[in-house]
Amino acid sequence: MLLALIGSDEFAKEERIAKFKEESVKNSLPFKVFFASSPKDNVSFTAEIASAMAASFFEPTASVLVRHCEFLSADEQGRLAGFISGGIQGTLLLDFDKLDKRSVLWKLFEKLKSVEVFEPPKYSSAVQRWIENHVQKHFQKRITPQAAQYIADAIGNDTRRINSEVKKIFLYSPALKEINIQHCQLFIGQDREVPAYELQESFGFRDIRVFLPKFRRIIAEEGDGAFMPVVGALRSHALNLLHIKSMRAKKIPDYDIQARILPPNKIFTYQSNRLPEQSSKWGLAALQEVILRLDELSYGKKMGFYSDLPSFELAICGLLC
């Protein structure tokens, strides 16, 4: 049996690996763990794996887990592909953080139908939903949307660490039925820098409840240096929403709109980031006014009109009203 786990959703991958190990133990198979490495003493890493998996007089074929396979050289990946193609004894589980879809290994895994992809949620709102669902499913508890958003802002989409931090709260208070934002503020530090582009989604939805805490964190962390990145990120997003709204009003199909306004590597964000829904929260005149006002803010900053952060905060938050 062969299985390739690919992606950076570490929590989901660890659960799959635990299940794999459980199945091996249940079937009385030796379970061995390797970390991808360079050849030793002119013996290739693939040869080490083949030797570890082979049956002997003393034990049956083994179940082998190889971690961090993304560090294998191109030559070693080629040798591994040859070993797999020749038919393997035992069970082999390969753990990749990432793997080029053009590579020989990826094509082989697809051909053998042996790929499982584990990708974490990419956007703030998706991370929040993942946290809410995870707390309910994994802990049989609840978490408020505000608390889930706090964790998403503090940690990002590191699913394994999110699980660890939530577990810490419940270990401290076993009788707790619901996590609220006060629990998160007590146990989880805001140690992740929030980039300006993360303001775009909450700005697009005109959600001041989500927008304001993120915006204030950026200002607190970056000070005056946050001014131009914030203005630039919001202007770019408002311009995209203006184009979407105006083209949808002309009945232009979505596939055509996204091809016109987004680069090829960002087209998937059109639906996954709910850009059409965001555009529906604005009128054309309002978006035009926002873009004009952001241009004025940029010019005003260069002329020294916005030297204090409170006036900048008021000006930006006023765009959402």
pLDDT digits (tens, 9 = 90+) for 171-209: 999 999 999 999 998 888 876 767 888 899 999 999 998
Where do you find CATH 1.10.8.60 in the chain?
A: 124-187
First-to-last CA distance in the chain? 58
- Largest Cα–Cα distance of the chain, in whole Å? 82
Class of domain 124-187: mainly alpha
- Fold exhibited by the domain 2-117: Rossmann fold (3.40.50)
Q: Which CATH architecture has domain 196-320?
A: Up-down Bundle (1.20)
Contact assessment for residue 66 and residue 32, using Cβ atoms and an 8 Å cutoff: no
Report the C-alpha gap between 23 and 33 in whole angstroms.
15
User: Is residue 290 over pLDDT 90?
Assistant: yes
In the chain, the DSSP E strands lie at 2-6, 31-35, 63-67, 91-96, 115-117, 142-143, 178-179
pTM for this entry: 0.65
Q: Tens digits of per-residue pLDDT, 12-50?
A: 999 999 998 888 878 777 888 999 875 565 568 888 888
